[in-house]
Structures are given as structure tokens and as C-alpha cells.
Structure 1
Amino acid sequence: MSVIGSNAASVEFIDVTKVYPNAKVAAVDNVSLHVETGKLVTLLGPSGCGKTTTLRMIAGLEMATSGKILIGGQDVTSLPATDRDVSMVFQSYALFPHMSVRENVEYGLKFSGFPKKEINERAMAGLDLVGLQDFGARLPSQLSGGQQQRVAVARALVLEPQVLLFDEPLSNLDAKLRRQVREDIRDIQTKLGLTVVYVTHDQEEALAVSDRIIVMRNAVIAQEGTPRDLYDAPASAFVADFIGEANLLDCTISRVDNGTATVALGPVNLKLPARNLPPGPAQLAIRPGRLAFENAGTPNTLAARLTKVTYVGRHLECLAETEVGQVFAICTDVNAPFKSGDNIALGFPDRAPVLIPAQSI
């Protein structure tokens, strides 16, 4: 049985604001959030949105200007990083190049006052957990990027922190390795029941690893929810376009009856959940993979002329011109005989379009 257990705790922000000296705007503006114990929550957003500042305030590397930060129900707002039971895995890994892998993993334990025997047991258990039990004598320079990342994870895990923080942990890895390491991180988090706050700007990465995602924009929370919530029901054009690809098309809500909107998209009439929107201008967010390819002239479809068809292995990527604008659509039938210049029709299955407010991006 592993000597590494879980000391996981919840994280809560209550009206937290961070303003840097001489800054004209807040880096984080009146943010409230809750990370449940044992869950992996991702802070997702473009550069400068406030996600890394939020992470650093959890760690105690930045102090909140106002508001409260609770870890495990305890107010840690004024505590420095050294007095918070939090470990952070940095984008650069921050491994000591002159120390062996095992010495790197043991480093934090030595400064935490663990007895020598327990330091040895925890270090070996940590390396075993990340699949590097036979690599303890090597130097970091003798490891691949993915292996170095795992050493950084092991070094954080052996301290059994209440909260484990990841700051863009996969950005230095190639695409194939990113997939593998994110699966490793998710497996370890699930196995140990760790509370993890994870920062990334990569939408696919966030969808793959998270229990919940908090999308940030301009220092505030734009939307939060499960990966499926955000993908299937974005609250705004920004979220729709940031969480995966989406066609954003202008439409008109002609009436709303018992929560169902009658929507006109050019010549197409749709019945959709109104999502509390009133009659008038709105937008539709439509995922490229949820459009139906129909024969030209099919009733209640959007006439389209293909301007580009690209084979990318698993599917065809198609650009089409329509009377409501350019539409990007994905055809999963790689043997479909589509080519540039073809006239087709695009249909809208029930789960394809989602109403969002007009001009909300």
C-alpha cells in the first residue's frame, strides 16, 4: 500500500480582487468560486484573463487586494505561501539539474522535517505512482520532457498537499505527449482523490481533464460548469467560440412560448430552448460537427455552396457560403463525394444550434 494518501481540501474565493500597483484595471475583479474537495477544476481563458493570477493567489504567491480565500474552510487570505498546504507544478518543471530524479523528489520532504526513512519511502512511492520507479538515479537532463513533467508531479504529490496546482503543465510538450501526460495527471488525481486547480489556455486539454471548467475573460468569470455543460450550452459567443469551434450566426427570435423560441435563420425556421432570451435579434452557436449534410433543395435547410473541402484523416472539413454567412462544417463520412463548388444543403438536428445573446462577443 502506498505511503502517499490524500489530504485534499476545498478552495473558495469570496469576492476576491487583485489590483497590481500602478495598474489601470484589476487583474482579477470580484471573483467568487468554489472548488470541491477531490475535484479537478480548470481555469481556462486567453492570455491576460486573470487565470494565472487566480492560481498564484491560491498558492500565496500573490496576495489578494480584497476579498477572502479559504482552503479547507480556513481563511488563508493573509497567509504567505510557506504557511499554506499547497504544492505547485510549474510550466518549466523547476527541477534541479545537478540533483538526481530521486533527490529532486525528496527535496521538499527534507525541508518539511520528515524522518529519513519516511523521506525514502515517500520518494519511492511517488516515483512508482508516476511510473518512474527505475529512474531515480538519473539526472533530469537524461529524461524526456514527459518524464521530467512526471518528476515534477511526484515531487508535489509526496508532500500530500491540501491543494495541488498546475500552471500550464503541458505547454512544453508535443501534441502526442500532451495527450499521454494529461491522462497520467487525470489518472493520479482520480486515484488519490486530490483537489487540483489546473490552468491552461488549451480548450481540448481542459475538456479532457476537468470535472468542472471556469472560463475567465477580462478578469472575471464568463461561465463555469462541466465540460459538457460548456460545450453544449455556452452562455455567450465568447464561450461558444473559446470552448471548441463554433459557427456564430445572426438570427431572429420571433416569439417565445413556455420557454420555447421560434427562430428564423434566413429561410430556416427552428424551435429551440429560449434560454431566457426575449423576442428580437439573437445569435446561434452551432458546432461544425453537428450540422447535417443534405441534398440541395431539402425543406427547412440552408442552401450552401462548398468553397473548400479538406480531407484531414478522420473527417472532411468543409467551408460553405450561405445567405447568412460563411459556415464551417465537418463531415464524418470521409468517403462522401463532396468537392469545392458543389451545391448542398445544411440541416440542423435538435442538438446542433444553441441560442445566445446577440453581440455578446
Structure 2
Amino acid sequence: MAGLGSKAASVAFDSVTKVYGRDVLAVDRVNLNIAPGKLVTLLGPSGCGKTTTLRMIAGLEMATKGRILIGDKDVTKLPATDRDVSMVFQSYALFPHMTVIENVSYGLRFSGYSKSETLERANAGLSLVGLDRYGARLPSELSGGQQQRVAVARALVLEPQVLLFDEPLSNLDAKLRRQVREEIREIQQKLGLTVVYVTHDQEEALAVSDEIVVMKNATIAQIGTPRALYDAPADTFVADFIGEANLIGCEITATDGDMAEIAVGSARHSLPSRGLKPGKATLAIRPSRVRVVEGKGLPATVEKVTYVGARMEYTFAGDFGRVFAVSDNVDDPYRMGDAVNIGLAASGPVLVPDA
């Protein structure tokens, strides 16, 4: 890591809007503050505005309205070359005719470093991503995961104020995705980098982020830590998008201060009201929080059983609809057609407003 340091900066969006052509609204009055040294993920379905937001930070797209600040500097009108940010692309974007060390050194050649200092910094970058002995190879001689690490090293050696990742793991298989995301997170924390990371993969976002910005229809649906978004989603959209929630109808029968009494069929439960009033409501239950109970509960039938190695996956059907559940008990699974009773765990179910 010798020779590489951090000059992490904050990123701020002040009512930023991006319109393509006359009427294609890609980002709508977004306000966002990213603290220096944090990894913040922009998460959402295709077309929600997350990649456009990232590209506006990079200067690859210009804001139609509003201001973008990196640190204390207004960069709204500045081109990409004047923003002191680096971007790691989904496609790696390595030069196929250059060796690994030449790829990593490429940007440094235009940064005023001497030949020896360029080589030293490039080697430090390769060491940081665990590719010390790969400098003489061509990209075609590397695996997908190794190529992605070269792309990360090339961005890191420039010591940007902000490091941007655009779907960096989408071309990797599941095992490599997990490994490389852990490496990216470790490097980010070790160097104290400000990182803005775009993905549509909820598990990836939960695993790497200090904060997650969930986007929907060109706006921000919710900002929070991974646990806050998972345990207390702002509405049914966030609940369903983060972690695959079961959304079932319920009745709020009474409220007392911040608590609500709810009824789902014959089951009764007490939980935070989250500002909702008595009447019909929606309950979000994570698959891992669905409980099969002895005695009283919601009658259900095991409709589907799937073994996926480390866990069982079930679909339970009843008058409440269908719920998806997971269980670590792979040795004594339920069978299709079994009659069970579904209970509401003491923690986990949460009331959510409609999106």
C-alpha cells in the first residue's frame, strides 16, 4: 500500500434534475449527502435513475438543474477530467494489447509522475488488490475476477476524491461476486475512500454499504443503513425490493401511542404503529422471520418445497395469501401438502404504508 493514500471528499446533490431530450425525466430533484470515507450504494430497478446519478457525479452526464458538489467545490459544470473522480465500469474497460502493469499505469502517465514513480505506484496498486505477480500478463490471460481487480487498481492509483463503481460484479459468477465485493469493501475501509456504488443486486448492496439509497422512478424512495432499510422499510416498494418481503393484508384494530394491535385472520399481534391509524394496512414479513408454530396460528398448507443446499425454501398458502419462507433445518423438512400453522415472530413483522 506504500505510496497510496486517501483524500476522500463528500458528495452532495442539491435538487439535481436530469432531463433527456424534451421530456424524458431520468432524475427528479434529488437531494443527497454522502459523507467522506463512506461507501454508499445506489440501488433500484432498471430505469430508476441510479446509473444516471452516478454518471452525473463522474461528469459523464451534466445536470439539467441543481448543483453537484465534491467536497466544497461546485463541479456541476465541470467536465469529467476536472472532477478528481475515478470510475470502475461493468465491462472492466481494460486495453487488451497492454499488459496488466501498463493498464494500471495508464492514467498515471498523464498525471505528472516520473517513470519510476508511476511504476512504483502501479505496483502498489496491484499489491493492494492481490495481483503483485501478474503485471506482465495480458488481460486475456486473467480470469474475470482478476480483470475486475486490475480495473480497481487502475482507479485506485489515481487517488481520487471519489471512487465510482457501475455494476462492477455483474459479469462474475456467484462465488466470485462474493469474493470481489468483500475485497472492494476491505480496500475501501482500509484506505478510507469515498465510494459510490451502483447495483441492482439487493444482497450485494446489503453486504458492502454504509448506507443505501433506494431509487424509484427517478427519485429517492428511502436512504438508510442496510439494517434500517431491511428492518424498517419506508413503504411497500422498499420492503419488497430490499430482501424479498412477504406483503400481506392486516387490520389495525387499535393504536396506543407508538404501538398498534393488528389482526391477521385469527392471529393477533402487537408492533410499532409507524404513524398508521386503525383500519386496513399492509404487513411486511421477511422470509427468515416466518415461523411455523404449534397450536394457534394462521392455518396454511405447504404448497412448495425447495432444497438449495444450506437451507430449505417454502411457499405456504392460506386465507392470508401466500408467503415465502426459508429455514436452516434441512434435515427434517416439511413436505408438500403438510398442514401447518403460521405464527408472527416477536420481532420482524413490520407495518408499511403503500408505496
Cα distance in 1 for partners of 2:176, 2:157 equals: 24
**Contact kept in structure 2, 1:247 and 1:287, CA below 8 Å:** yes
Provide runs of 4+ in structure 1 moved above 2 Å: none
- Counterpart residue type for residue 276 of structure 1: G
1:336, CA displacement in angstroms?
A: 2.5
**Aligned match of 1:353:** 349
Give the alignment's TM-score, normalised by structure 1.
Answer: 0.96
Deviates more, 1:110-119 or 1:191-200: 110-119
Q: Does 1:11 align with 2:20?
A: no
Q: Tell me, in whole angstroms, the C-alpha distance in 1 between the residues paired with 2:4 and 2:147.
A: 20
- Do the aligned partners of 1:293 and 1:331 also contact (CA within 8 Å) in 2? no
**Paired amino acid for 1:348:** L
Alpha-carbon separation, structure 2, partners of 1:205 and 1:267: 38
The answer to whether the Cα contact below 8 Å between 2:283 and 2:351 also exists between their aligned partners in 1 is: yes
Is 1:254 the counterpart of 2:243? The answer is no
Partner of 2:206: 207
Give the deviation of 1:175 after TM superposition. Answer: 0.7
CA distance in 2: counterparts of 1:105 and 1:309, whole angstroms: 49
Between the aligned partners of 2:180 and 2:304, the Cα distance in structure 1 is 35
Q: Pairwise CA RMSD of aligned residues? A: 1.0
Is the 1:212–1:225 contact (alpha carbons within 8 Å) kept by the matching residues of 2? yes
- The one-letter code sitting in structure 1 at the alignment partner of 2:155 is A
Q: 2-side partners of 1:275 and 1:50: how far apart?
A: 28
2:145 partner SS = helix
What TM-score do you get using the length of structure 2 for normalisation?
A: 0.98
Equivalence for 1:227: 226
Alpha-carbon distance in 2 for matches of 1:177, 1:330: 24
Deviations 1:163-208 (A, max 9, x none): 0000000011111111111111011101100000000000111011
In the other structure, the counterpart of 1:127 is: 126
Any gaps of 5 or more consecutive residues in structure 2?
Answer: none
| CA offset digits 1:200-226 (Å, max 9, x no partner) | 000111011101000000000011100
Distance between the aligned counterparts of 2:228 and 2:315, measured in 1? 27
Q: Is the 8 A contact 2:214 2:222 kept in 1?
A: yes
- How far did 1:337 drift? 4.4
1:198 aligns with 2:194: no
For 1:52 and 1:313, how far apart are their aligned partners in 2?
A: 34
In structure 2, the partner of 1:288 is 287
Name the % identity.
Answer: 68
Return the alpha-carbon distance in structure 1 between the equivalents of residues 39 and 186 of structure 2: 11
Is the 1:275–1:355 contact (alpha carbons within 8 Å) kept by the matching residues of 2? Answer: yes
Structure 2 match to 1:332? 328
Residue 135 (structure 2) aligns with:
136
Shift of 1:350: 1.6
1:170 corresponds in structure 2 to 169
Q: What are the Cα deviations for residues 120-139 of structure 1, in whole angstroms up to 9, with x where unaligned?
A: 11001001001111010111
2: CA distance between counterparts of 1:180 and 1:337?
Answer: 31
1:155 counterpart SS class: helix
Determine the C-alpha separation between the residues in 1 that align with 2:346 and 2:173. 37
Alpha-carbon displacement from aligned partner over 1:211-251 (angstroms, at most 9, x marks no partner): 10000000000111000111111111111111111110011
Determine the structure 2 residue equivalent to 1:322. 318
Secondary structure at 1:249's aligned position in 2? strand
Is the contact made by 2:312 and 2:333 (CA closer than 8 Å) also made in structure 1? no
Q: CA deviation at 1:353?
A: 0.8
Structure 1 spans left out of the alignment, 5+ residues:
none
Number of matched pairs: 355
Tell which deviates more after alignment, 47-56 or 328-337.
328-337
SS class of match (1:8): coil
Aligned to 1:28: 27
Q: Are the equivalent residues in 2 in contact too, given 1:304–1:321 (CA < 8 A)?
A: yes
Note the 1:105-120 alignment, pairs <5 A. 105-120=104-119
Aligned partners of 2:333, 2:60: CA distance in 1, in Å? 57
The aligned residue for residue 180 of structure 1 is 179
AA at the equivalent of 2:212: I
SS of corresponding position for 2:3: coil
Name the CA distance, whole Å, in 1 between partners of 2:336 and 2:159.
Answer: 57
